[in-house]
Amino acid sequence: MRMPNPFAAASEKGGLVAEPHTTVKPAPRSRVQTMKEYHPPLDNRDALRLDFNENTLACSPKVREVLGSISTGDLTRYPERGPVEEIVAAHLGLAPQQVALTNGVDEAIHVLFETFLESGDELLLPVPTYTMYEIYASTTDANTIAVQADDDLRFPFERLLSALTPRTKIIAIANPNSPSGSIASREQIIELARRAPQAVVLVDEAYFHFHGETIVDLIDIIPNLIMARTFSKAYGLAGLRIGVLVGPAESMRWIRRVLSPYSVNSLALACLPSALNDAAYLDWYVSEVLAARSEFELVLDSAEIRRWPSRANFILVDIGPQHGEFVRLMSVGGVLVRDRSSDPGCDGRVRITVGTRQQMQQAACVLKDTVSRLQIGRASQ
């Protein structure tokens, strides 16, 4: 027998409408209620984008060709990631079972944390660092243990060793780190993995191409090491959302249980092999950024603006109390930069992405004008 729908009442017109039947509302988990909201400033970005550490120019032209060849019929199919995972595994010198493609490294972090962190576990986080580690950890029942870097923002290795406990379950290391641009050495990573065998040591190599050093060769050797790489930065594919997580096959099996089989879309999967194949384009873009970084460092030094040494495609600078106005005036001049003042230990600091030499010459003009208007650095003397 068909039962009447208790949530529906006949409207005046005779159709069915839902009516509020109670004041009780479903409540999210308490951890979700207390977690911080994160709203990256992504609106109105039609300017020189030196705010999100993206590639500031374009991805490989070979990717454009692939996009042009995709048919509407191709879009009707669910994405198949396996064959592309094999290509990425071969590219990294690993077996396909050691590799999972993800919807950007953000999904990799989220899934890794969901797979390993449970109530009472500790995520050890050298700070300041990439915001999403703390955000995703706060949706789990684990505790985040923040380990503050000194004013030089170097990797707080000794302090991390002292903070290890039997409950340490993940140590998340962005290498190079954002927003500082500082690095952890290979020896430091190995030592942390050795001293905390119960913990996953996540090495997030989002900015690997600008640094040139990797721990990918250790994946076969150190059983608690996991590495992530994004295709959003040097490769210029941030809009396609694709990243990769690699680790021992056994850990990857657990991670795959949590990972959606469809989270990497078919456009990203179609484009990735061409992006990987075009090494010439990648090398050109990286060398352009490295040359621009050296030139821009000289501009900052001659303006007497304090900066932190960077191994990535961005530079953190100390603007001081006028950081908000600095970011605003740079944006009025057509250059977007990122205020990092609310990061732990970063009061007054602003992060500037490095693009091509030509773009950084434009940024240098706007910067010189801005510091002289605000009387910052040399302009204050």
Ligand X SMILES: Cc1ncc(COP(=O)(O)O)c(C=O)c1O
Mask: binding to ligand X, 362-381, rule CB under 6 A, as x and -?
--------------------
Of residues 19 and 37, the one with the C-beta less far from ligand X: 37
Q: Is 115 in the site for ligand X (CB under 6 A)?
A: no
Tell me the closest approach of the beta carbon of residue 365 to ligand X, in angstroms.
Answer: 26
**247 binds ligand X per the rule CB under 6 A:** no
Candidates 82-90, 230-238, 282-290, 343-351: pick the segment binding ligand X (CB under 6 A): 230-238
Rounded CA gap, 54 and 35, in Å?
Answer: 27
Query: For residues 103 and 370, which CB has a smaller minimum distance to ligand X in the complex?
Result: 103
Kindly state the smallest distance separating residue 232's Cβ from ligand X, in Å. 3
**115/370 with CB nearer ligand X:** 115
Verify binding: residue 204, ligand X, rule CB under 6 A.
yes
Site for ligand X contains 157 (CB under 6 A): no
Residue 53 within binding range of ligand X, rule CB under 6 A: yes
Residue 308 touches ligand X, criterion: CB under 6 A: no
Residue among 109 and 364 whose Cβ is closer to ligand X: 109
CB under 8 Å to 194, separation ≥6 — which residues? none
Give the bridge partners for 201, in sequence order.
171, 225
104 binds ligand X (CB under 6 A): yes
* Residue 130 touching ligand X (CB under 6 A): yes
Q: Is position 113 an interface residue for ligand X (rule: CB under 6 A)?
A: no
Residue 55 or residue 178: which is nearer to ligand X going by CB? 178
Of all residues in the shown chain, the one whose CB is closest to ligand X is 104
106 binds ligand X (CB under 6 A): yes
User: Quick check: 236 binds ligand X (CB under 6 A)?
Assistant: no
Nearer to ligand X, 54 or 121 (CB): 54
Which residue's CB is nearer to ligand X, number 238 or number 299?
238
HEC string of the chain?
Answer: CCCCCCCEEECCCCCEEECCCCCCCCCCCHHHHHCCCCCCCCCCCCCEECCCCCCCCCCCHHHHHHHHHCCCCHHHCCCCCHHHHHHHHHHHCCCHHHEEEECHHHHHHHHHHHHHCCCCCEEEEEECCCHHHHHHHCCCCCEEEEEECCCCCCCCHHHHHHHCCCCEEEEEEECCCCCCCCCCCHHHHHHHHHHCCCCEEEEECCCHHHHCCCCHHHCCCCCCEEEEEECCCCCCCHHHCCEEEECCHHHHHHHHHHCCCCCCCHHHHHHHHHHHHCHHHHHHHHHHHHHHHHHHHHHHHHCCCCECCCCCCEEEEECHHHHHHHHHHHHHCCEECEECCCCCCCCCEEEEECCCHHHHHHHHHHHHHHHHHHCCHHHHC
Among 95, 164, 216, 238, interactor with ligand X by CB under 6 A: 238
230 scored as a contact of ligand X (CB under 6 A): yes
Q: Does 303 sit near ligand X (CB under 6 A)?
A: no
10 Å Cβ neighbour count for 354? 28
**Binding status of residue 232 toward ligand X by CB under 6 A:** yes
Q: Of residues 174, 227, 330, 336, which one binds ligand X by CB under 6 A?
A: 174
Contact between residue 109 and residue 172 where contact means Cβ atoms under 8 Å apart? yes
CB of 109 to ligand X, least distance (A): 7
Q: Which of 181, 236, 243, 247 binds ligand X (CB under 6 A)?
A: 243
Q: Which residues bind ligand X (CB under 6 A)?
A: 53, 104-106, 130, 174, 178, 204, 206, 230, 232, 238, 243
